[in-house]
Amino acid sequence: MSRRLWILQIMKYTIVFHRTEEGISVSVPGLPGCWSEGDTEVEALENIQDAIREYLLAVSEMNREQETREVEVII
């Protein structure tokens, strides 16, 4: 019986709120094209978290066959 080990990471992203009369849009400057929206700030935050997860999953799948590495950056 094989077991799958899931390693979870907590990552932080800067998000930008765009408030209009229709609601709140949220973008992630560090992830081009990653946007979401909501009627309230709480809903917009929940939705952008889902959008970030989906964005990162899509990038991971697109790069699956590529040689990749991680680097550490001190800011």
pLDDT in tens, the chain (75 residues): 567 777 788 999 999 999 999 999 999 999 999 999 999 999 999 999 999 999 999 999 999 999 999 999 998
The domain segmentation of the chain, as residue ranges, is: 16-61
Rounded distance, CA 44 to CA 59, Å?
22
Q: How far apart are CA 34 and CA 59, in angstroms?
A: 12
Q: What is the pTM of this model?
A: 0.82
